[in-house]
Structure 1
Amino acid sequence: MKLGLLTAALGRMSLEQVAAWTCQAGYEALEVAAWPVGSEHIHQAAHLDVAGFTAGDADRVRDLMDRYGLTISAVTYCGNNLHGDPAERDRIHRHLRACVDAAAALGVRHVTTFIGRDIDLPVADNLKQAERHLPPLARYAADRGVRLLAENCPMEGWHPDGYPANLAYSPELWDWMAGLGFGLTYDPSHLPWLGIDPLDALDHALQAGIVGHVQAKDIQIDERARTRYGVFGKTAGRASPTDVGWWRYRVPGRGQLDWNRIIDALYAAGYDGDIAVEHEDPVWGGTLDKTLQGMRIAASTLRPLIVAEPEGQSPPSTSLTEPPRPSP
């Protein structure tokens, strides 16, 4: 198991700048964000331009990873694969296939995405839509030696009333999507506010053999505020989709998840993938300096829990020396 980070929160840095900083901060792997170029906003970066990705591009990325002693754990593009607009859904699927092609060219085993949801249809109809549209995507990936993984983020911000808009949010749906050919990118931070025990859910997923990748994000819950707002969060006065009033995402070490038990469960099950920090912490965010500090906090929390390299191999540097600053 290697400790990595998802590059999506570092969109103001180039992939080379991210790699230079990563290897100095105690990380060994990158989950590389690959949203379409030009569509980036917070937490959606384009560190791989997968449109027209060539053999030369693959060589340059591999050389970059080798230079800094890093590996790529997954290529990530989390679009709504069940979007209600057929033209937009087709665009999302084309970009996802391009992510698969880039991953295959790089020798990367996994591409992380969402299942999604057509918010104008009931869940039962969405399940039928998924069973029609998603297996061909999974087969496209499998034919190229890549496994599509769906992250279990509910994406309640995609729904006008804050209901789950990514049909991969519960263990019941993990079993269903496995039948469509999808594995799981397990992120425990999404589970407690839904009333799902993250360790029980992880045990189920590991026994089912569907965990291909793990994201490390924490959560902070205010139970008194939940009593005021209810499980779906604020109704009047909500400033943004994530302004729910009673919970917020944190970096590992600043929330309430038991990372010692989570990582121990992964080792006990023989999990051979990586764990990538996903930064969506409003306390340690907003500026590049604060975001990087949040990443350092996460590394200092998780690094002691990851088994050291075998004897004779050098452990990763934990120097916090900064790389050259990104261009404005």
Structure 2
Amino acid sequence: MKLGVFTVLFSDKNVDEMLDYVASMGIEAVELGTGGYPGDAHCKVDELLEDEKKQKDFLEKIAGRGLMISALSCHGNPLHPQKAMAEEANTVFIKTLQLASKLGVPVVNTFSGCPGDHEDAKYPNWPVAPWPNEYQEILKWQWEEKIIPYWKEKAALAEQLNVKIGLELHGGFSVHTPATLLRLREACGPAIGANLDPSHMWWQGIDPVESIKILGRKNAIHHFHAKDTIIDQPNTNRNGLTDMTSYSDMQNRSWYFRTVGFGHDAKVWADIISTLRLYGYDYVVSIEHEDGLMSVDEGFAKAIQTLKLVMVRESVGGMWWV
């Protein structure tokens, strides 16, 4: 396993400054934003895509610091009912798949997207209850008419390019649980997998260790984010887990993100890392920092401290004790 970081944290630094900094902190892999919600501060797709020399120089710049690229990320909503927004996300995603193939990056991370509830909708509709029955009708229409057709096409393209798609299981999007990820994977093929982030499991009431087992049995974890969450039970009793309180109003939210080790202790994270290894994941653990209580630099450093203690880097080889 390698310790990585989602470099959107350092969008205020140019690519050389960012690479120097993360390498000095002991990071071994970088996950680079190429557009969409993460932005493209460190990886300009249009500049790189058709220029082999720039691609070579870019890779050498990264390798020269002892780093690798774990994934390219372009989180957006390619199923947005407003066509201009959907097309923008779709275009960035396709270009990112193509660039990943050229750079030899094995994974592209994004969201599944979320459609509206009919062809003329203006906004996404995320059904979260089976009744009244209209919600089931909406969900059926979304999956049959929008979600599966789109991702079946994109999975085929990813396979042609020898790239895997890591969908982040994130509330507000159609694929947000192990079950919805496996439903899409079954319909579209093994190019579809998870960019699994335990922070989004906790707030949905899902045990991340069990989610790793569910997805790991199907070899469906393509990438992994390291981010923590705290549940404020008194606020949850009032607001529920689908809490619409602003992220900035942390005192009154049911849950909020923390840096690794500040929502759950090192033993919990040791269990997560061990279960990843147990179910065959031996790739990058990519730190994502969205902690409203500490700076980027402090949160990043504390996440590294926690994860370095629990990372499993060496394979067993032979079981000498049997």
Q: What TM-score does the superposition give when structure 2 sets the normalisation length?
A: 0.84
- Report the counterpart of residue 44 of structure 2 in structure 1: 49
Percentage of identical aligned residues: 26
- Report the counterpart of residue 264 of structure 1 in structure 2: 274
Equivalence map 1:36-185=2 (5 Å)? 43-52=38-47, 53=49, 54-121=51-118, 122-128=138-144, 129-154=146-171, 165-179=172-186, 180-181=188-189, 182-185=192-195
Please report how far the alpha carbon of residue 308 of structure 1 lies from its aligned counterpart in structure 2 after TM superposition: 4.5
**Of the two structures, which has the highest relative contact order with CA contacts closer than 8 Å and spacing of 6 or more?**
1
The correspondence for 1:218, drawn from 223, 228, 244, is 228
Letter in structure 2 aligned against 1:305: V
Matched length? 287
Letter in structure 2 aligned against 1:270: G
- Report the counterpart of residue 126 of structure 2 in structure 1: none
Letter in structure 1 aligned against 2:142: N
The correspondence for 2:258, drawn from 245, 250, 254, is 250
Please report how far the alpha carbon of residue 229 of structure 1 lies from its aligned counterpart in structure 2 after TM superposition: 1.6
Please report how far the alpha carbon of residue 216 of structure 1 lies from its aligned counterpart in structure 2 after TM superposition: 0.3
Contact 2:5 2:30 in 1 (8 A): yes
- Report the counterpart of residue 25 of structure 1 in structure 2: 25
- Any idea what SS the aligned residue of 2:108 has? strand
Distance (Å, rounded) in 2 between the aligned partners of 1:19 and 1:241: 30
- Report the counterpart of residue 5 of structure 2 in structure 1: 5
Please report how far the alpha carbon of residue 241 of structure 1 lies from its aligned counterpart in structure 2 after TM superposition: 8.3
C-alpha change, 1:215 and 1:91, in structure 2 (3 Å) is: same
C-alpha change, 1:57 and 1:12, in structure 2 (3 Å) is: same
Consecutive unaligned residues of structure 1, counting only runs of 5 or more, are 155-164, 285-289, 311-328
Please report how far the alpha carbon of residue 6 of structure 1 lies from its aligned counterpart in structure 2 after TM superposition: 0.4
C-alpha change, 1:49 and 1:229, in structure 2 (3 Å) is: same
Consecutive unaligned residues of structure 2, counting only runs of 5 or more, are 119-137, 316-322
Contact 1:251 1:281 in 2 (8 A): yes
More helix by share: 2
Query: Residues 202-244 of structure 1, C-alpha deviation per residue, up to 9 Å, x if partnerless?
Result: 100000110011000000111111112222225xxx4458867
Query: Residues 96-141 of structure 1, C-alpha deviation per residue, up to 9 Å, x if partnerless?
Result: 0110111111110000011010244522222121112221112112
